[in-house]
Every structure is written in C-alpha cells, then in structure tokens.
C-alpha cells in the first residue's frame, strides 16, 4: 500500500523555466491538497482538488501557478517562469473524504530556483 507519492524529490530550475510537480494520492483517496513551505516557515495552503475539479484555490498565487487533478494520472502543480522566491518545499496530501485524520502527506518536492 504505497503512500502519497511525490516526484521529483528535488528539482532545480533556472529563473524563467517551468516547474512541474507531481503527486499520486494514496489508493482510494480522491481528495488532493497542495501546500508550500518556505525555509523556516510553516505550511501554507495552496489548493484543494478532487478528480477533475478545483474545490478551493484561495491559497494559490494569481499568476504563474496552476494545478490540476485529471481523471487519470497524478495531480500536477505547475509553476511557470519560476523566480527565486518560488524556492520552497511543496507538499501534497491526500484524503479519502476531505480533511480529517485520514490526511496523509507525501515526502515533498524541494524546488530550488537558481
């Protein structure tokens, strides 16, 4: 029973490039959440998705960031034209029914923009 799988674990991008972060939820989980954690700071909610739907994107920056969770395949967090300030750990979590104790995190993707 694989947990939440995120890849890549580490991603280095030059300023202006695109970053694509992938998250495969646990088997049977249809709710996916993305969080960003800046160095020495707490987790900041970005977006909550169910299959093919964005439920809450109140934490997403208005520009350059987008997320999807297609019917087939992993959830993707996409950052266009990355800047140094995008360097952070991006964690994905999934749950079977929305929130609650069934919430499980992936190991995160550490994005470094050089």
Binding site for other proteins (CB under 8 A): 31, 33, 35, 41-45, 48, 55-56, 89, 91, 93, 97-101, 103, 105-108
In whole angstroms, what is the distance from residue 26 CA to residue 62 CA? 28
Other beta carbons within 10 angstroms of residue 12's beta carbon come to 13
Instruction: Provide the minimum distance between the beta carbon of 89 and other proteins in the complex, in angstroms, as a whole number.
Output: 8
- CB closer to other proteins, 17 vs 34: 34
User: Which residue is it, tokens 């088997």?
Assistant: 27
In whole angstroms, what is the distance from residue 46 CA to residue 43 CA? 9
Beta-carbon contacts of 62 under 8 Å, excluding residues fewer than 6 positions away, are none
Instruction: Provide the minimum distance between the beta carbon of 32 and other proteins in the complex, in angstroms, as a whole number.
Output: 11
- CB closer to other proteins, 27 vs 44: 44
Beta-carbon contacts of 41 under 8 Å, excluding residues fewer than 6 positions away, are none
- CB closer to other proteins, 26 vs 43: 43
Instruction: Provide the minimum distance between the beta carbon of 82 and other proteins in the complex, in angstroms, as a whole number.
Output: 21
Instruction: Provide the minimum distance between the beta carbon of 108 and other proteins in the complex, in angstroms, as a whole number.
Output: 6
């Amino acid at each position: 029973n694989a947990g939440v799988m995120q890849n890549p674990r580490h991603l280095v991008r030059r300023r202006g490039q695109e970053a694509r972060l992938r998250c495969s939820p646990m088997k049977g989980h249809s709710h996916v959440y993305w969080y960003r954690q800046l160095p020495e700071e707490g987790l900041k909610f970005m977006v909550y998705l169910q299959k093919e739907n964005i439920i809450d994107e109140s934490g997403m920056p208005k520009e350059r960031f987008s997320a999807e969770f297609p019917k087939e395949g992993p959830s993707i967090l996409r950052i266009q034209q990355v800047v140094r300030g995008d360097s952070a750990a991006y964690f994905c979590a999934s749950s079977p029914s929305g929130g609650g104790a069934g919430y499980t995190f992936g190991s995160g993707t550490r994005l470094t923009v050089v």
